[in-house]
Amino acid sequence: MSDNRDLDATWKYHNGTKHSYLSIRLHPHELDWENKPLLFKIYPTLEVLRLPKDFRPSGVPALEAVASVGVHPVEKKISIEAVPSLDTFAQLLFFSAGVTRSKKYPGGETFFRAAACTGALYEIELYLVCQDLPGLAAGLYHFGAAEFGLRQLRAGDYRRVLVDATGAEPSVADAPVIIICTGTYWRNAWKYRSRAYRHFGWDNGTLLANLLATAGALKLPAQLVLGFADAEVNRLIDVDPQKEVAFSMVALGHTSNKAPAPPGFEPLGLPVVAYSKEEVDYPAMRQMHEASSLGPAEVTAWRATELKRNSAATSSTATALESISDSALPTDSLEEVIQRRGSTRRFAREPISFNQLSTILERATRGIPADLPSSGGALLNDLYLIVNNVAGLKPGAYYYARERKQLELLKEGDFRKQAGYLGLEQELPADASVDVFFLADLHKIIAAYGNRGYRAAQLEAGIIGGKFYLAAYAQRLGASGLTFYDDDVVNFFSPHAKGKSAIFLVALGKSIKVARP
């Protein structure tokens, strides 16, 4: 039995990694640039199968793909096979975790990936387990982003291991391909120390936002899977759980070819190129992950639990989102938007339209195809906004009532200065047109799901944040994910937000143009 029901573990980690005005000054952190981690995991003794890059454009508008909540093949009784070819799978990998461009400078090279990542450190690794696919033999593979290729770690069909680890989750049982997302502690902790475990959720989430949108554009069934026995998955991919751990999975496609009994497997013991000269251990991250891990007997209980949430009281001052027909929205394709996406470094203090904000909020929060049960498709995170400059909307603090598609005014006023302070005293949130803060009622979430609920809340915020990025860039706007002063955020939005916890922050607005590589 795991420690998933030892709920003190979540509070110990969450409270212990909060940022405050005082903590930032009492515990400064200087980056050791000579010890910066390598940004790619490389198995030097394995050959690389290079993936094709001559992708067939989907032609699907980005805003349509972002809004997709996926198709569950079992519920929809899809009887046709949906088995991705190597070309299709290459397209999924490129637009979710691939290197879209790079910039050389004296002394090195900067790589830009398809999805945003804290500190551009890219600590999320991808592994895939598949049956025989057109152009790819059954096996366990690691995705090498540096080479845009696959390295086979094990030959044979190992899908049954994941079917068993997920308690026969239907989407996994019927999937020809399952992607396993892992987080590498040191690669992000080099900069963010123990708080890096929160970033696992954010950075895995932005990657998954791209992956789910791309799968939707390619008409490929996809479902996020959070309920699995961690130790079994880690053993299959043969990672050292002191350094790298499975964080989430995605079941892709649909097949009637059920997974056979897997071949036996032993530890691989494969050498990996060292990330740094030395790695610093931050035990709090590992302790939180271990406390949120599930054993085989707990996976079924995870899916059987349903979170009941009460709708917040309607404000006397509420503004309905503006609606716009699909034909009037920008039609830039998902692939075009992903390749031009960045993380805004400077915002112009110019207004965005209320229609643009409405489109971002409505398209990004329709739902996520996942095995996480909820009441009526409710999200784990609540969205609170500081509106600085949105044409047609009074400046002030708002709560987004998603079920009613309304912005409820909590307090009116110019809060640019407060937004900058709450966003760790940075200019970005002060200059942005609007700042969206993700807050969650962790008391209810972990009471229902245990510590695994904390992992889910962080991951969901990252996925919605990733959708914000895509929806903003589809409208030629900018976006940037940021960190924050935890308790000050909650206090600012209270009494409405009393008892909740700050999870994530995304700033939105018009980017000041800078030269692109």
CA atoms of 55 and 324, how far apart (whole Å)? 31
273 shares its domain with 335: no
CA atoms of 399 and 406, how far apart (whole Å)? 8
427 shares its domain with 362: yes
Structural domain boundaries, residue 174? 41-293
Domain boundary among 293, 308, 341: 293
Pairing of strands 124-130, 177-184: antiparallel
77 shares its domain with 162: yes
> How many domains are there within the chain?
2
Q: Is the dihedral of CA 321, 323, 324, 326 positive or negative?
A: positive
Look at residue 11 in the predicted model and tell me its pLDDT.
98
Per the domain annotation, does 239 fall within a domain? yes
CA atoms of 129 and 178, how far apart (whole Å)? 5
90 shares its domain with 190: yes
Tens-level pLDDT at each residue, the chain (517 residues): 578 999 999 999 999 999 999 999 999 999 999 999 999 999 999 999 999 999 988 999 999 999 988 765 544 444 578 999 999 999 999 999 999 988 877 767 788 899 999 999 999 999 999 999 999 999 999 999 999 999 999 999 999 999 999 999 999 999 999 999 999 999 999 999 999 999 999 999 999 999 999 999 999 999 999 999 999 999 999 999 999 999 999 999 999 999 999 888 999 999 999 999 999 999 999 999 999 999 998 998 888 877 776 555 556 689 999 988 777 899 999 999 999 998 889 999 999 999 999 999 999 999 999 987 654 456 899 999 999 999 999 999 999 999 999 999 999 999 999 999 999 999 999 999 999 999 999 999 999 999 999 999 999 999 999 999 999 999 999 999 999 999 999 999 999 999 999 999 999 999 997 554 4
In the numeric block, the tokens 């909060």 are attached to: 18
227 shares its domain with 288: yes
270 shares its domain with 405: no
Per the domain annotation, does 439 fall within a domain? yes
Per the domain annotation, does 1 fall within a domain? no
Nearest alpha-carbon partner for 69 in 454, 467, 356: 467
Per the domain annotation, does 310 fall within a domain? no
440 shares its domain with 400: yes
Domain boundary among 258, 293, 328: 293
Look at residue 375 in the predicted model and tell me its pLDDT.
45
C-alpha distance from residue 329 to each of 193, 198, 337, 411 (Å): 41, 34, 14, 31
Nearest alpha-carbon partner for 510 in 478, 480, 482: 478
> What is the CATH number for 135?
3.40.109.10
288 shares its domain with 347: no
486 shares its domain with 361: yes
448 shares its domain with 382: yes
90 shares its domain with 162: yes
Q: Are 509 and 350 in contact (CB under 8 A)?
A: yes
122 shares its domain with 206: yes
Look at residue 302 in the predicted model and tell me its pLDDT.
83
Per the domain annotation, does 485 fall within a domain? yes
